[in-house]
Amino acid sequence: MEQRIRVLLAKPGLDGHDRGVKVVARALRDAGFEVIYTGLRQTPEQIVTAAIEEDVDAVGLSLLSGAHNTLFRRIINLLREQGADDVLVFGGGVIPEPDIPGLLEAGISAVFTPGTPTSTVVDFLRKNID
Protein backbone atom coordinates (compact mmCIF):
# COMPACT_ATOMS: atom_id res chain seq x y z
CA MET A 1 0.00 0.00 0.00
CA GLU A 2 1.37 3.38 -1.02
CA GLN A 3 1.91 5.84 1.82
CA ARG A 4 0.17 9.19 1.43
CA ILE A 5 2.24 12.34 1.28
CA ARG A 6 1.92 14.26 4.56
CA VAL A 7 1.92 18.05 4.31
CA LEU A 8 1.82 20.54 7.16
CA LEU A 9 0.36 23.92 6.20
CA ALA A 10 1.08 26.87 8.46
CA LYS A 11 0.48 30.59 8.80
CA PRO A 12 3.59 32.02 10.49
CA GLY A 13 3.60 35.35 12.23
CA LEU A 14 0.78 37.77 12.79
CA ASP A 15 -0.94 37.27 9.44
CA GLY A 16 -4.64 36.76 10.07
CA HIS A 17 -5.83 35.92 6.55
CA ASP A 18 -6.24 32.22 5.89
CA ARG A 19 -8.59 31.85 2.93
CA GLY A 20 -5.78 30.98 0.50
CA VAL A 21 -4.16 28.36 2.71
CA LYS A 22 -7.55 26.74 3.28
CA VAL A 23 -8.08 26.52 -0.50
CA VAL A 24 -4.68 24.86 -0.87
CA ALA A 25 -5.43 22.50 2.03
CA ARG A 26 -8.67 21.40 0.39
CA ALA A 27 -7.01 20.91 -2.99
CA LEU A 28 -4.24 18.80 -1.46
CA ARG A 29 -6.77 16.68 0.46
CA ASP A 30 -8.83 16.21 -2.70
CA ALA A 31 -5.65 15.06 -4.46
CA GLY A 32 -5.08 12.38 -1.81
CA PHE A 33 -2.55 14.10 0.43
CA GLU A 34 -2.75 13.98 4.19
CA VAL A 35 -2.92 17.61 5.36
CA ILE A 36 -2.29 19.06 8.80
CA TYR A 37 -3.23 22.73 9.13
CA THR A 38 -1.76 24.42 12.21
CA GLY A 39 -3.98 27.50 12.12
CA LEU A 40 -3.24 31.19 12.35
CA ARG A 41 -0.43 33.08 14.07
CA GLN A 42 2.09 30.30 14.54
CA THR A 43 5.66 30.94 15.63
CA PRO A 44 8.48 29.38 13.62
CA GLU A 45 9.22 27.18 16.64
CA GLN A 46 5.63 25.92 16.79
CA ILE A 47 5.67 25.13 13.07
CA VAL A 48 8.94 23.21 13.23
CA THR A 49 7.86 21.30 16.33
CA ALA A 50 4.60 20.30 14.62
CA ALA A 51 6.43 19.29 11.43
CA ILE A 52 8.76 17.00 13.37
CA GLU A 53 6.05 15.56 15.63
CA GLU A 54 3.77 14.88 12.67
CA ASP A 55 6.65 13.42 10.61
CA VAL A 56 5.63 15.35 7.52
CA ASP A 57 7.15 15.19 4.07
CA ALA A 58 6.58 18.88 3.37
CA VAL A 59 5.78 22.17 5.06
CA GLY A 60 3.79 24.81 3.22
CA LEU A 61 4.01 28.35 4.54
CA SER A 62 1.41 30.96 3.68
CA LEU A 63 2.11 34.61 4.34
CA LEU A 64 0.53 37.88 3.35
CA SER A 65 1.99 40.18 5.99
CA GLY A 66 5.33 40.93 4.34
CA ALA A 67 7.48 39.13 6.91
CA HIS A 68 8.31 36.24 4.57
CA ASN A 69 12.03 37.03 4.30
CA THR A 70 12.45 36.73 8.06
CA LEU A 71 9.94 34.01 8.95
CA PHE A 72 10.55 31.62 6.04
CA ARG A 73 14.32 31.72 6.63
CA ARG A 74 13.86 31.17 10.38
CA ILE A 75 11.77 28.06 9.73
CA ILE A 76 14.34 26.67 7.28
CA ASN A 77 17.12 27.28 9.80
CA LEU A 78 15.18 25.67 12.68
CA LEU A 79 14.44 22.59 10.57
CA ARG A 80 18.16 22.29 9.76
CA GLU A 81 19.09 22.70 13.44
CA GLN A 82 16.65 19.92 14.35
CA GLY A 83 18.06 17.58 11.69
CA ALA A 84 14.89 17.79 9.61
CA ASP A 85 16.43 19.40 6.55
CA ASP A 86 14.97 16.58 4.42
CA VAL A 87 11.51 18.17 4.83
CA LEU A 88 10.57 20.03 1.67
CA VAL A 89 9.49 23.61 2.44
CA PHE A 90 7.42 25.67 0.04
CA GLY A 91 5.78 29.04 0.38
CA GLY A 92 2.89 30.99 -0.93
CA GLY A 93 1.02 34.22 -0.55
CA VAL A 94 1.61 37.82 -1.45
CA ILE A 95 5.35 37.70 -2.00
CA PRO A 96 6.99 40.27 -4.28
CA GLU A 97 8.78 38.78 -7.29
CA PRO A 98 12.13 40.41 -6.34
CA ASP A 99 12.09 38.50 -3.01
CA ILE A 100 11.56 35.05 -4.54
CA PRO A 101 15.16 34.34 -5.67
CA GLY A 102 16.48 35.04 -2.15
CA LEU A 103 13.90 32.71 -0.62
CA LEU A 104 14.81 29.95 -3.06
CA GLU A 105 18.49 30.49 -2.28
CA ALA A 106 17.70 30.24 1.45
CA GLY A 107 16.15 26.80 0.97
CA ILE A 108 12.50 27.35 0.09
CA SER A 109 11.78 24.83 -2.68
CA ALA A 110 9.11 26.86 -4.47
CA VAL A 111 7.04 29.99 -4.05
CA PHE A 112 3.47 30.11 -5.30
CA THR A 113 1.93 33.56 -5.68
CA PRO A 114 -1.75 34.54 -5.96
CA GLY A 115 -3.41 33.11 -9.04
CA THR A 116 -1.31 29.96 -9.14
CA PRO A 117 -3.59 27.03 -9.97
CA THR A 118 -3.82 24.56 -7.09
CA SER A 119 -2.99 21.80 -9.58
CA THR A 120 0.46 23.39 -9.93
CA VAL A 121 1.06 22.95 -6.18
CA VAL A 122 -0.21 19.35 -6.30
CA ASP A 123 2.02 18.52 -9.28
CA PHE A 124 5.04 20.17 -7.68
CA LEU A 125 4.68 18.14 -4.49
CA ARG A 126 4.14 14.86 -6.33
CA LYS A 127 7.26 15.46 -8.43
CA ASN A 128 9.49 16.58 -5.56
CA ILE A 129 8.59 14.20 -2.74
CA ASP A 130 9.79 10.62 -2.97
> What structural domains and CATH numbers belong to the chain?
6-128 (3.40.50.280)
Q: Tell if the pTM clears 0.85, that is, is over it.
A: yes
| Segment 70-123, tens digit of pLDDT | 999 999 999 999 999 999 999 999 999 999 999 999 999 999 999 999 999 999
| Segment 23-37, tens digit of pLDDT | 999 999 999 999 999
Q: How far apart are CA 74 and CA 25, in angstroms?
A: 23
What's the angle, vertex CA 124, arms to CA 120 and CA 127, rounded to 5? 140
What's the angle, vertex CA 87, arms to CA 18 and CA 58, rounded to 5? 35
Residue of 53, 34, 30, 32 lying closest to 9 (CA atoms): 34
Q: How far apart are CA 38 and CA 18, in angstroms?
A: 11
